[in-house]
Amino acid sequence: QVQLVESGGGMVQPGGSLRLSCAASGRTFSNYAMGWYRQAPGKQRELVARISTAGTTNYAASVKGRFTVSRDNAKNTVYLQMNGLKPEDTAVYYCNKALNPLDAWGQGTLVTVSS
């Protein structure tokens, strides 16, 4: 059974930073491009960052230059470093495959950006 466990969320002031982690178990994710998604209240889930198996990264325009995605295949873990956080970044953040996401999403981790 595949499990995705996100962690690292919290409440920060605008301009602050957080580092999210996503640990995958039950399957080796080194063979897959991985993505970080977020879902804000009342909005659809969106892909904000992705990293290929070779380490190539892509970002949504709204987070480019502020967020950095990385992966540690030995630990089956994907990270999202978030700097310069804005109130509009407030959302529940999830990780999953970047293409054809697994049906079983993790519980996500809540990021709240507020003064």
Tell me the pLDDT tens digit for each residue of 76-107: 999 999 999 999 999 999 999 999 898 889 99
CA distances (Å), origin 85, targets 10, 57, 113: 12, 19, 7
Residue 97: closest CA among 24, 1, 19, 18:
24
Overall average pLDDT of the 46-55 stretch: 96
Q: What is the pLDDT of residue 115?
A: 95
| Nearby residues of 74 by Cβ (< 8 Å), 6 or more positions away | none
Q: What is the pLDDT of residues 17-49, one digit of tens each?
A: 999 999 998 667 788 899 999 999 999 999 999
Residue 111: closest CA among 69, 88, 70:
88
CA distances (Å), origin 73, targets 6, 22, 47, 53: 16, 12, 21, 9
DSSP-derived secondary structure letter, 40: -
If one counts every other C-beta atom within 10 angstroms of the C-beta of residue 3, the result is 12
Q: What is the pLDDT of residue 29?
A: 76
- For residue 1, pLDDT over 70 is answered with no
Q: What is the pLDDT of residues 62-76, one digit of tens each?
A: 999 999 999 999 899
Q: What is the pLDDT of residue 27?
A: 66
